Amino acid sequence: MKRIIYYTMITAALSLFTVSCSEDYLDTLPTDQVSAADAFTTTTNAMQALNGIHRIMYNQWRNQGEAGEGSMNINRDMLGEDLVMTSAGNGWYNNTYKWVDHRNETSSTDSYPWWVYYRIIANANMIINNIDGATGPQADKDIIKGQALVYRAWGHFNIVQLYGKRYVAGTQNTQLGVPIMLTNNFDGQPRNTVQEVYAQVEADLTQAATLLATYTRPNKSHMNLSVVRGVQARVALTKQDWTAAAAFAVQARTGYSLMTTAEYTGGFNNYTNREWMWGSTVIADQTTYFYSFFAYMSRNFSSTNIRGNPKAINRVLWNDLAFTATDVRKLNFDPTGAHTALALPSTFSKFPYTSQKFIAAGGADSRGDVVYMRAAEMLLIEAEAYARMGGRDTDAQTALNILRQARETVPANYVASTKTGQALIDEIMLNRRLELWGEGFRFTDLKRLNLPLNRNGANHNTALAVVMDVPAGDVRWEWLIPKAEVDANKQMVQNPL
């Protein structure tokens, strides 16, 4: 009897030992991620990879002040003379305004554009280099690849403008640019020359224009041919290639009409706006809270930053006689700071010349669509390019006047500009500054035109701004290469200190 028990035990024991698990016991998969391989099996999946890049444009990243492209718009204007900090607020962007952060290789502001644009480029490269193997209609592949190419070009173009030396027309442009990334490469690449970077940008855009030639997009977060032309116009303008800039700008704005004056004071927060060419919409569960562009640049969102430090316009620009008193663009700023129409709560500080150009979804809701490109900019590119190329002042006046007329609230006050030469260029540039205030153009405009920063005589508080003048060509026009890049990339060369 005992023996039987023993043998039963032994058999049971040994059988338990051999009860191993099935072959795939150790194969586990995440539920909130997909494998990279699956991302490009079909064009449907690849389209999702493209939508991911669209989202990068307005997603919340590492730090407050890193909400996609909107935060870069703030940074680029913060370094100019037209955006005025009214107080230190709670500290955000203070060190950008003071020209400290982009020259501090360990600051997150300095690394952010490098980080976010190369992230866009990497995601675009995954698409560009894998889309051909996906199953699905060729037309879809063209749409996906075309937009990925625009992103790659646009990313490189942004980075080279900040971290590289400026492009000088008529030279070889052999000065240091930034690494060109065409594959998903992790070894650390050397810096290409400025010329090489621009050549690659142009090549990508040219190919994108072909692939997107007939694309009809579902909404303005996607890029169609007009956006490609718009980016091409910006690139040409930066290269001081006036002929190309004008031509691309004309093609880009074809099919768009300008905002009505009523729409112009509507808060710059809706991408279905007729004039917008490219932008993102932000829905409720994609809010970026206190990271949002509107958490710093709107007048109505109740953040500590806005309550204490509403952003103002350079009063010299606002008061410039180039603008009539009834120019709608001036109405977006209040020289008294009261903004009575907004009925701001009493906790909101008031300062002269503050802006209500941008209006957030609500006092408790920092959302708002972010604009990346609109037709007015194309008119301004067209006007500037014609004015600078010489002999085309009439064409320049035409473009400028279309915009000026559209911005006039009292038609009787409108007088067409008849200026020529440098006076015309000056007027165009003043219009550009007022029209695009807060949209992130000023730093790169000063840099491409080799102009100094001059904040004197305006409403800048020297105790906050600290830096009032930066000469043209100063080393500070180049952002420092982030230390994280220098540390991990042996071939990286830092900009002059």
Partner 1 sequence: MMFVLLMVTGLFAFGQTVQITGVVTSSEDGLPLPGVTVKVQGTTIGTVTGPDGVYTLQVPREAASLEFSFIGMQNQVVSISGQTRVNVTLNPDLVAMEEVVVIAYGTAKKGSFTGAAAQIESKKIETRPIANVTQAIEGTNPGIQATSASGQPGSGQDIRIRGFGSVSASNSPLYVVDGVPYSGSISNLNSQDIESISVLKDAASSALYGNKAANGVVMITTKRGSKSRSSVQFTTTQGLSTRSIPEYERVGALAYYPLMWEADYHRQVYAATPVDPATAAQNSTNNLIARVGYNITDVANNQIVRTDGTLNPDAKILGDYAGDLDWQEPIMRQGYRGEYGLTFNGGDDKSDYYVSLGYLNEKGYVIKSDYERFTGRINVNTTPKKWMRTGLNLSGTMTESNVASSGGTSYVNPFFFTRNMGPIYPVYAHDPVTGDYLIDPATGGYIYDLGNLPGLPTRPAGASPGRHVVAETEWNDDLFKRNVLGARAYIDIMFLKNFKFTFNVASDVSAYNGASFENKTVGDGAPAGRADRENSLTTSYTINQLLNYNKTFDIHSVEVLLGHENYDYTYSYLRGFRQGQIVDGNTELVNFTTTNSLTSYTDKYRTEGYFARLNYNLAEKYFISGSYRYDGSSKFYQDTRWGGFWSVSAAWRMDAENFIKSQQWIDMLKLRSSYGAVGSDNGIDFYAWQARYNIGVNNALEPGFIQANLANEALTWESNNTFDVALEFGLLKRVTGSIEFYHRISSNLLFSVPLPLSSGISSQQQNVGTMYNQGIEARLAVDVVKKPSFRWNVDVNASTVKNEITKLPPGQTEIIQGSKKLMVGHSIYDFWLRDWYGVDPADGAALYVANIKDFTTQASNLRIINETDTVSISQNNAKYAYHGSSIPDLLGGITNTFTYKAFELSILATFQIGGEILDGTYQSLMHSGNYGNASHVDILDRWQKPGDITNVPRLDFAQQTPFTSTSDRWLVDASFFSVKNVTFSYNLPASVTQKAGMKGARVWISGENLLLLNARTGLDPQGSFAGTTDNVYTPSRIVTFGINVSL
Residues 220-239 that bind partner 1 (CB under 8 A): 221
55 touching partner 1, by CB under 8 A: yes
373-392 burial: b if 16+ Cβ within 10 Å, else e: bbbbbbbbbbbbbbbbbeeb
Phi first, then psi: give them for residue 303, nearest 5 degrees.
-100, 155
1 touching partner 1, by CB under 8 A: no
Distance CA 159, CA 394 (A): 35
Stretch that binds partner 1, among 195-203, 218-226, 324-332, 419-427 (CB under 8 A): 218-226
Paired strand residues for 324: none
Amino acid identity of residue 80, one-letter, is G
Q: Minimum distance between the CB of residue 405 and partner 1, rounded to whole angstroms?
A: 34
- Give the x-and-dash track for 18-47 against partner 1 (CB under 8 A): -xxx---xxxxxxxxxxxxxxx--------
Q: Minimum distance between the CB of residue 346 and partner 1, rounded to whole angstroms?
A: 4
Alpha helix ranges (H) inside 100-137: 108-130
Encode 217-283 in three state secondary structure: CCCCCCCCHHHHHHHHHHHHHHCCCHHHHHHHHHHHHCCCCCCCHHHHCCCCCCCCCCCEEEEECCC
Distance CA 244, CA 336 (A): 43
Q: Minimum distance between the CB of residue 263 and partner 1, rounded to whole angstroms?
A: 21
Nearer to partner 1, 265 or 302 (CB): 302
Site for partner 1 in 348-367 (CB under 8 A): 349, 362-365
Site for partner 1 in 168-187 (CB under 8 A): 178-179, 181, 184-187
Q: How many residues lie near partner 1 (CB under 8 A)? A: 114
489 touching partner 1, by CB under 8 A: yes
Site for partner 1 in 182-211 (CB under 8 A): 184-189
217 touching partner 1, by CB under 8 A: no
Tokens at 273, concatenated: 């706006």
228, with CB counted inside 10 A (0-12, 13-18, 19+), is buried
281 touching partner 1, by CB under 8 A: yes
Nearer to partner 1, 196 or 426 (CB): 196
Site for partner 1 in 401-460 (CB under 8 A): none
Q: Minimum distance between the CB of residue 98 and partner 1, rounded to whole angstroms?
A: 7
What's the angle, vertex CA 485, arms to CA 482 and CA 490, rounded to 5? 135
Nearer to partner 1, 71 or 287 (CB): 287
> Is the sign of the CA dihedral 315, 317, 321, 327 positive or negative?
negative
325 touching partner 1, by CB under 8 A: no
Phi first, then psi: give them for residue 187, nearest 5 degrees.
-90, -15
Q: Minimum distance between the CB of residue 310 and partner 1, rounded to whole angstroms?
A: 12
Tokens at 338, concatenated: 């009261």
Distance CA 495, CA 447 (A): 16
Nearer to partner 1, 123 or 355 (CB): 123
Distance CA 366, CA 372 (A): 18
Q: How far is CA 369 from CA 273, 303, 349, 366, 495, in A?
A: 10, 18, 25, 10, 35
- Give the x-and-dash track for 287-316 against partner 1 (CB under 8 A): x-xx-----------x-x--xx--------
Site for partner 1 in 450-469 (CB under 8 A): 462-463, 466-469
- Binder of partner 1 out of 43, 73, 109, 118 (CB under 8 A): 118
Q: Minimum distance between the CB of residue 71 and partner 1, rounded to whole angstroms?
A: 16
Do residues 287 and 361 make contact, with C-beta atoms less than 8 angstroms apart?
A: no
Distance CA 356, CA 312 (A): 9
Nearer to partner 1, 333 or 348 (CB): 348
Site for partner 1 in 68-87 (CB under 8 A): 87
Site for partner 1 in 125-164 (CB under 8 A): 125-126
Nearer to partner 1, 218 or 411 (CB): 218
